[in-house]
A and B are shown apart, each in its own frame.
Chain A
């Protein structure tokens, strides 16, 4: 089953990492990802730019309203996600724990994927 691991963290904190700290976290995460990729279990991975670059389209009205910033004002922000193929929740939690050991602080939301299309983008 495909699981999304949604990464939440306080952006103020991650933006305070020095370049070296950031690179160190990314290098550790890459090890976990390579492991998953070798097993053929790693789907798309994305790291999002800061929420200051975000725009929200509120479509509960007509015409839809464009708002600066992320959809939800929360203490922790959605900063990225992984798609990982796991047997069950325990498997997904194990992956999340491995990722968490490489990148402490914040939270991972583990969410089973309903529909997945690999898409065609190749930037």
Chain B
């Protein structure tokens, strides 16, 4: 008989307790397990590591605006399917799935509200909705938010997060770059401030239009921000990308954004800026 015989294992089945699946989240940076309630209270930022999780549009608006000051606009603006786009999946099906998932009509939520009692016109992109790609409906909402700022003579704030233009709407999505930027030209001409906030990720068509046109451009920490996707650049140039390429920190170092502001400080930062810019414009205003 062998001295070291195979030990006998017995399988013990422990009855799992009913732990709600969405109670805990793991920090991708440190692996730390964090209680969801804590995460939510800290605006989806891991307190110890500073990792910024994505934030949906409504939570973002609640985090920036005063109490219940938000009045939503353009709720009826929704995407159509002008190309009758049917590639590997039908565009209409993708829209329906995103609407069901997010309970939003499209990738932008916009309206009026106040920040530190200063009136603002705000538009926020929701990355959960088809990667917050910019289609006709989203472009229309952004444009209306800018025009509303022009009309009410109040500052415009756009919080961006987007993979770029919405391919499924073809050339019409590209035209949203022109539509939104033309509205910003008028806003600028009228001397009304526009603050652009870049969150993870803000790429391509959105960066090649309004997101890059802020009087002040604020980035959240460690966001991916750029025009061409990193993989495309790597494939085209056959070069290794520098460390931290296309991150907020990289952009700050190259002089492309004004500042990096952690989410928890964003509201205060906006209030300060708006107070500075508002000093003289409020006299002109209504």
A and B: partners? no
